Amino acid sequence: MNIKPLDILHKYYGYTSFRKGQENIITSIINKEDVLAIMPTGGGKSICYQVPALCLDGITIVISPLISLMKDQVDALNTMGIKASLINSSLSNSEYSKVLEEIENDECKIIYIAPERLDSMEFVNIIRGKNISQVAIDEAHCVSQWGHDFRVSYKKIPYFINRLDKRPIVTAFTATASNEVREDIVNILDLHKPAIYITGFDRENLSINIVKSSSKNKYTLDYVENHKNESGIIYASTRKEVESIYEGLLKRNYSVAKYHAGLSNEARKEYQENFINDDIKIMVATNAFGMGIDKPNIRWVLHYNMPQSIENYYQEIGRAGRDGEDSECVLLFSPGDVHTQKYLVEVGIENPERKRVQYKKLQQMVDLVYSNTCYRKSILNYFGEPFLEDCNNCSNCLNEGEVVDKTLDAQKVISCIARMKRSFGATMIIDVLRGSKNKKVLDLGFDTLTTYGIMKNYSNEDLKTFINTLVSHGFLDVVENIGPRGSFPTIKLNEQSLKVIKQEIKVEFKEDKVTKSRYVENELYEMLVSLRGEIAKEEGVAPYMVFG
């Protein structure tokens, strides 16, 4: 009981000091408090429950959804001389009996268990009579429908705890910081007056870059060529896109693996292991890849598409640089990404309230992309962490583009919207501003407005970007309308818009200095364009459209 946490850290893990937040969390647990700890990916959550497990008398049960990674964790603990075992569906009957016997004979200090095994009667019967000091719930956001990775079996956890003779300390760990998820964790897992720690979301060693208006394919090929000797992940939104990028890189002889939910378990396992063991350098994956993996030397994460929320984005880039070395994160953005994500929300979420929340998150992600303040500051503030200085290590801080006055153009957009009276989506507004002969525009009589055709000098794409930039800077609002045939966003004026019209405020944006040529011909690009068309046909997504 009076073993010092720092001694454990030295003795077993060989680390010299705790990281930010770890020590306070550990102290709370040792003082028998329930804890909810929210730490970024790679922040070092495992140690926060493992060290107390060793300080406290009795057994710690760790509930984790990640069957493939439990073994790594348990092997690592055993190598350090800590008695740990695991229970999940990968065990044969005889292996399972052996683990139960170890527990029976008090030969086990830490037990990793998959949540779906918690109602096994044999396990419960043996464990309930034992001295359980802590039940630690890893990836605790899985209990919440609001999280991005809901698991029904997590609902079993409170029943399991109630069946124990004596209630142990219950601790929960996640990298997901949203309020809804946090409240769900506390309520559903029935944490008793938990000490809540939200720690150090900043990952200093990650440089955050967002690249707009560039050929993604050309960029990716160049990027991979320049980083082929380092480990990196390319994230894409759909399985098809993963396959296509994978094939494109394989054809060019890069060392590449792939991962998505459409592959067999065996294939996924093999690709993952090859990547983790450095046999393969590049992983192309959907967001199905990565939860809980602990590969220290991932030097770069390239997002081929924009993720669905800032939470997802931060979690995914968090897999880079776990060893603390500088690592690079690049998000390649095109307006089509917004549409793909919208589609995924539309088909993926039924509950209207959840849908609304998800749309809001998507909008916040889009706003981040189009903002021109320090990305790190924006992200950390989003997570509720006060971070006031510019980081000088993100593409906004480092962008030396010129500040241009866009007040006049903004006034044109705003007065057009005002004249259209009812609310419309961006596409319609763009059509009117560009003087489109589209039947809908003519039928509604918009060709008679004084603002009809006043922004012909903009291309369709540039005007979309401009309107999105106005939205992300708060000069316009987006209001999501959920109707019987799905949802569509409309653009609305707000107080800021009126101030712009009245010349009370100026609209100034920093131009992206790196505006590379948009359409560079190459095979991979061709392939992806046709692929997008295919996805569009198959799934009813119009390619390259923003905001309906």
Nearer to Zn ion, 207 or 287 (CB): 207
Using CB under 6 A, which of the segments 40-48, 126-134, 164-172, 334-342 binds ligand ADP? 40-48
Nearer to ligand ADP, 296 or 533 (CB): 296
Which residues 79-118 are close enough to bind Mg ion by CB under 5 A? none
* Amino acid at site 118: L
Nearer to ligand ADP, 137 or 476 (CB): 137
- H helices of 206-264, in order, are 216-226, 239-251
Instruction: Choose the one of Mg ion, Zn ion, ligand ADP, none that binds residue 15, judging by a C-beta under 5 to 8 angstroms depending on kind.
Output: ligand ADP
* The dihedral formed by the CA atoms of 311, 316, 322 and 326, expressed in degrees to the nearest 10: -100
Q: Find the residue with minimal CB distance to ligand ADP.
A: 44
Nearer to Zn ion, 396 or 451 (CB): 396
State yes or no: residue 47 binds ligand ADP (CB under 6 A): yes
Instruction: Choose the one of ligand ADP, Mg ion, Zn ion, none that binds residue 394, judging by a C-beta under 5 to 8 angstroms depending on kind.
Output: Zn ion
What DSSP string describes 32-74?
T--EEEE--TTS-HHHHHHHHHHHSSSEEEEE-S-HHHHHHHH
Nearer to Zn ion, 86 or 210 (CB): 210
Alpha-carbon separation of residue 162 from 136, 156, 157, 170 (angstroms)? 15, 10, 9, 11
Counting residues that bind ligand ADP (by CB under 6 A) gives: 15
State yes or no: residue 45 binds ligand ADP (CB under 6 A): yes
**127 neighbors 103 (Cβ within 8 angstroms):** yes
Nearer to Mg ion, 110 or 362 (CB): 110
Residue 174 and residue 287: Cα distance in Å, rounded?
Answer: 17
How far separated are the first and last CA of the chain, in Å rounded?
A: 61
**45 neighbors 180 (Cβ within 8 angstroms):** no
Instruction: Choose the one of Zn ion, Mg ion, ligand ADP, none that binds residue 374, judging by a C-beta under 5 to 8 angstroms depending on kind.
Output: Zn ion
Nearer to ligand ADP, 50 or 244 (CB): 50
Residue 294 and residue 37: Cα distance in Å, rounded?
Answer: 19
Residue from 109, 148, 260, 322 in contact with ligand ADP (CB under 6 A): 322
Residue from 19, 228, 252, 354 in contact with ligand ADP (CB under 6 A): 19
Which residues 263-302 are close enough to bind Mg ion by CB under 5 A? 292
**300 neighbors 330 (Cβ within 8 angstroms):** yes
Residue 282 and residue 372: Cα distance in Å, rounded?
Answer: 30
- For 446, the 3-state DSSP assignment is helix
Residue from 166, 222, 296, 540 in contact with ligand ADP (CB under 6 A): 296
State yes or no: residue 294 binds ligand ADP (CB under 6 A): yes
Nearer to Mg ion, 44 or 335 (CB): 44
Binding site for Zn ion (CB under 5 A): 374, 376, 391, 394, 397
Using CB under 6 A, which of the segments 16-24, 78-86, 109-117, 464-472 binds ligand ADP? 16-24
State yes or no: residue 182 binds ligand ADP (CB under 6 A): no
What DSSP string describes 128-168?
TTS-EEEEEETTGGGG-TTSSS--GGGGGHHHHHHHSSS--
Instruction: Choose the one of Zn ion, Mg ion, ligand ADP, none that binds residue 296, judging by a C-beta under 5 to 8 angstroms depending on kind.
Output: ligand ADP
* Amino acid at site 136: A
Instruction: Choose the one of Mg ion, ligand ADP, Zn ion, none that binds residue 397, judging by a C-beta under 5 to 8 angstroms depending on kind.
Output: Zn ion
Using CB under 6 A, which of the segments 37-45, 98-106, 124-132, 380-388 binds ligand ADP? 37-45
Nearer to Zn ion, 342 or 376 (CB): 376
Nearer to Mg ion, 49 or 509 (CB): 49
**281 neighbors 229 (Cβ within 8 angstroms):** yes
Residue 35 and residue 170: Cα distance in Å, rounded?
Answer: 7
- For 347, the 3-state DSSP assignment is helix
> What is the chain's Cα-based Rg?
26
**170 neighbors 189 (Cβ within 8 angstroms):** yes
Q: How far is the CB of 513 from Zn ion (least distance, A)?
A: 15
How many degrees, rounded to 5, is the angle at CA 326 between CA 323 and CA 330?
A: 115
Using CB under 6 A, which of the segments 45-53, 257-265, 350-358, 454-462 binds ligand ADP? 45-53
Q: Can you give the binding site for Mg ion, defined by CB under 5 A?
A: 45, 292
Q: Can you give the binding site for ligand ADP, defined by CB under 6 A?
A: 15, 18-19, 22, 39, 41-47, 294, 296, 322
